[in-house]
Amino acid sequence: MAESDNRVVDALSRKFQFAAVLVVSTADWEGIEEEVQQDPKLQGIIQDLIQGREIVVGYEWRNGRLLYHGRLVISKHSKWIPKFLQQFHDSKIGGHSGFFRTYKRISGVLFWDGMKGTIMEYVKQY
């Protein structure tokens, strides 16, 4: 399939990523980064990466942010998780589309420990 044959799918996936960027950009970046700094597990990963030890596969430290397979890492205790869940599930863009689609949308741009379970519980409630 040529790149031009997949424009609709590409446009849709970019729409969801754009929505995520809007939510993240309106969030308090300093607050998100502070939560990461206060998470002992994430701090250990960051220190390992800064010191050149890639003990946990898939993580990278880029431009002052922790990424996991290219996705922004947030603390599993982040106060922003409910906002992300609402945006990706309850909003017009999310469309209450169930666990799998909500998970795919969120996991395309964000990562936190236990996110699959968190998303599953949220979708069951709403």
Residue, of 89 and 8, whose pLDDT is higher: 89
pLDDT of residue 14: 46
In whole angstroms, what is the distance from residue 73 CA to residue 67 CA? 5
- How far apart are the C-alpha atoms of 34 and 65, rounded to whole Å? 11
Residue 43: half-sphere exposure toward Cβ, Cα within 13 Å: 6
Domain chopping of the chain, boundaries: 3-125
**What's the CA gap between 93 and 101, in Å, rounded?**
11
- At position 51, the amino acid (one-letter code) is Q
Torsional sign, CA 22, 26, 28, 29: positive
Q: CA-CA distance, 27 to 30, in Å (whole number)? A: 9
Residue 3's pLDDT is what? 47
* pLDDT tens by residue, 7-54: 444 444 444 455 555 556 655 677 888 999 999 999 999 999 999 886
What's this model's pTM, rounded to 2 decimal places? 0.75
Neighbours of 108 (CB within 10 A): 15
